[in-house]
Amino acid sequence: MIRVTKTFLPPQAEYQEILEDVWRTGWVTNRGVLVKELEDKIKIYLNTDYILATANGTLPLQLAIKAMGLNGEIITTPFSYVATTSSIVWEGCTPVFVDIHPDYLTIDETKIEAAITRKTSAILATHVFGNPCHVEVIDSIANKYDLKVIYDGAHAFGVRYKGQSIFNYGDISTCSFHATKLFHTGEGGALFCNSERLYNKLYYHHNFGHQGQETFQGLGINAKMSELQAAMGLAILPYIDDIMKARNVTVDLYDKAFKSTSIQRLLLREETEWNYGYYPIILRTEKMLLNVKQALESQNIYPRRYFYPSLNKLPYLEQSSFKVSESVASRILCLPLSHNLRKEEIELITTNIIKVAT
């Protein structure tokens, strides 16, 4: 069976060696030494200013909205995972969708300004499949209208844009460390920001509002990462460059196979150093997608319709139409991609797709 993703697991002995400190000290959670070590090492690896590890990748979005005191409307993309939109609604704000670019698949920055009203407080955009948004234009619009900017970088660990980590853009960037992601802690996530003041606010929000054991600085929840999660991250981080190199080889083989076909692939934004996190293809019609999916599944190959459906069609939202996002969502399929996908498996996948789709 070939699934759309395969979790990278480090050598078990290396994970257990890191865990020895947990058994020795009995310190399992509440920001132990492993969480702090992981934050420090990620900060060095990515060259970012402030990082806060969390229990999952959705909490950072919710904490970002809460910490910046956002209300009213938040402009966002309909082409993302559901957590991007649900976090806005969960925090009592209203998502205002802007359609996407048909090639980059990120929010169409040329349409953002027209969606701004007196109720707009922020822009929450997704680096789709690790492909950067047009951050310069978004930053310019945000400055013009005094808006905050949050980037959902769930897929963007290791991505660099114009020579620096993609997480250095915006007021707050978030990342998922879910087991399906390139870098993971089993379940987990992180917040990134460039402001010490904002970091301090995020810190107490993620730890019940504690300022010491007996004093509370403000409102908070429990979003802390455990030592067990951090140990997994520490065991995986030394392998991350090798993981990306291996996935790069797979992406190159996919690209070569599809080069002479009409199958649309993701267009990376210029000056991007990508992480090879996902391999989406866009078929001509939804019927063709379903035929391709059926053909692959008959061979025990399981791609994923990702992202589907377009988020403007969520049942708890007022219905609206965004032609590009809806069209792409109905025709996009993420193919299997992992650190150890074999050449013959890639050939089996591409041969079946080309047979049906061309």
Domain boundary (222, 238, 254) is at 238
Diameter of the chain measured on Cα atoms? 66
Domain co-membership, 189 together with 304: no
According to DSSP, the residues that pair with 189 across neighbouring strands are 54, 176
> 86 with 116, same domain?
yes
- What SS3 class is residue 167? helix
State the pLDDT at residue 358: 83
- Residue 101 and residue 27 in one domain: yes
Q: Are residues 102 and 148 in the same domain?
A: yes
Which of 74, 127, 136, 75 is CA-nearest to residue 105?
A: 127
Same domain for 42 and 159, yes or no, is yes
129 and 244 inside one domain = no
Q: According to the model, what pLDDT value does residue 218 have?
A: 81
- In terms of domains, do 309 and 334 share one? yes
Q: Which amino acid is at 25?
A: T
pLDDT tens over the chain, length 358 residues = 999 999 999 999 999 999 998 999 999 999 999 999 999 999 999 999 999 999 999 999 999 999 999 999 999 999 999 999 999 999 999 999 999 999 999 999 999 999 999 999 999 999 999 999 999 999 999 999 999 999 999 999 999 999 999 999 999 999 999 999 999 999 999 999 999 999 999 999 999 877 777 776 788 999 999 999 999 999 999 999 999 999 999 999 999 999 999 999 999 999 999 999 999 999 999 999 999 999 999 999 999 999 999 999 999 999 899 999 999 999 999 999 999 999 999 999 999 999 999 8
What distance in Å separates the CA atoms of residue 235 and residue 238, rounded to the nearest whole number?
7
The reply to whether 283 and 335 lie within a common domain is: yes
Half-sphere exposure of 287 (CA within 13 A, CB side): 0
Neighbour order of strands in the sheet with 120-126:
50-54, 189-193, 172-176, 148-152, 120-126, 73-76, 94-97
Residue 158's pLDDT is 98
Domain boundary among 206, 238, 270: 238
Q: Are residues 168 and 277 in the same domain?
A: no
Considering its fold, how many domains does the chain have in total? 2
Q: What's the CATH code of the domain at 119?
A: 3.40.640.10
Q: Looking at the structure, do residues 278 and 208 belong to the same domain, yes or no?
A: no
- Are 174 and 155 found together in one domain? yes
pTM of the shown model? 0.96
- Residue pair 92/66 in contact (Cβ under 8 Å)? The answer is no
**Domain stop point among 238, 256, 289:** 238
In angstroms, the Cα distances linking 22 to 27, 214, 226, 244 are: 6, 25, 10, 30
- The backbone torsions φ and ψ at residue 19, rounded to the nearest 5 degrees and listed phi first, read -70, -15
Which pLDDT belongs to residue 213? 73
Domain residues for 342? 240-357
Residues 74 and 151 in one domain: yes
**What pLDDT score does 217 carry?**
77
